[in-house]
Amino acid sequence: GFVIGISGGIDSALTSTLCALTQKKVIALNMPILQHKEQDDRAKEHILWLKKNHTNVSGEEIDLTDAFLKIKSHLPEKATSHLLTMANTRSRLRMVTLYAFSGGNKMLVAGTGNTVTPPLRAGLASSVSSGFSPYIVPSPPITPRLVPAISNSTIAPSLRPIQFLCIVLVFSGQS
């Protein structure tokens, strides 16, 4: 099965729906960190939709705001004032949460980005990088123009989701 973070965006909506269509167990996690209400509402609505339409999906909300603020309170001002640093800190906190659910349930983490990140430098473990961990299934590198088309079921509607993912991975050189 799969563990997947639901952000309220189209990438996580598409990837989580493809995971649900595989009939494997799916745990959909909403992990807000100081989230805008509209984005949080979209994530919650999508998880409800997944659960209503797919009996293999369960969902949870893990509010990571307190954990993020605690980490932030221990960082120097130079770090906390740097937007990219704090965005990366949020991403890593969500990643750790996904991996905790993944390991505890013996499931794979499904990636939701539309690109595969190259290995990070600066001595970070390859598991931090979305595309190079042995425990993650990266979403296929789908271009932004392709995502709405797939989401609207205008491309490959007769393919099972796992077939579609395999086809995209093969044609993108990810196999």
The token pair that represents 123 in the structure block: 């001595």
Q: How far apart are CA 169 and CA 175, in angstroms?
A: 5
The confidence score (pLDDT) of residue 28 equals 96
The confidence score (pLDDT) of residue 50 equals 93
DSSP 141: -
% pLDDT > 70, the chain: 64
Residue pLDDT, tens place only, 72-128: 999 999 989 988 889 889 999 999 999 999 988 989 888 775 444 433 333 333 333
Would the pLDDT of 9 be above 50?
yes
Residue showing tokens 């807000």:
32
Taking CA atoms, 162 is separated from 27, 45, 121, in Å, by 17, 24, 32
Are 5 and 94 contacting, i.e. CB atoms less than 8 angstroms apart? yes
The token pair that represents 32 in the structure block: 């807000």
The confidence score (pLDDT) of residue 12 equals 85
The confidence score (pLDDT) of residue 168 equals 45
Ordered DSSP codes for 20-89: HHTTS-EEEEE--SS--HHHHHHHHHHHHHHHHH-TTEEEEE---HHHHHHHHHTS-HHHHT-HHHHHHH
Look up the pTM and report it: 0.70
Are 151 and 10 contacting, i.e. CB atoms less than 8 angstroms apart? yes
Q: Which of 8-12, 29-33, 105-109, 157-161 has the highest mean pLDDT?
A: 29-33
Reference 9, options 45, 60, 63; nearest CA is 45
Would the pLDDT of 53 be above 70?
yes
Lowest mean pLDDT among 5-19, 22-36, 39-53, 77-91: 5-19
